[in-house]
Chain A
Amino acid sequence: LAKTTQPISMDSYEGQEVNITCSHNNIATNDYITWYQQFPSQGPRFIIQGYKTKVTNEVASLFIPADRKSSTLSLPRVSLSDTAVYYCLVGYSSASKIIFGSGTRLSIRP
Chain B
Amino acid sequence: DAGVIQSPRHEVTEMGQEVTLRCKPISGHDYLFWYRQTMMRGLELLIYFNNNVPIDDSGMPEDRFSAKMPNASFSTLKIQPSEPRDSAVYFCASSLRGQGYNEQFFGPGTRLTVL
Contact = CB atoms under 8 A, between A and B. Distances in A.
Interface of A: 32-34, 36, 41-46, 49, 87, 89, 91, 93, 96-100, 102-103
Given A43-B93, A103-B43, A96 B55 contact: yes
Interface string B73-101: 00000000000000000010100000011
A93 B100 contact: yes
Dominant SS at the B interface? strand
A102 to B, nearest CB: 5
Given A34-B102, A36-B104, A96-B56, 14 more contacts: A32-B102, A34-B104, A41-B109, A43-B4, A43-B93, A43-B107, A43-B108, A49-B102, A89-B102, A91-B102, A98-B33, A98-B45, A98-B101, A102-B42
Interface in B21-39: 33
- Size category, B interface: 20 to 34
Contacts of B42: 100, 102-103
A97 B43 CA distance: 14
Contacts of A98: 33, 45, 48, 56, 101-102
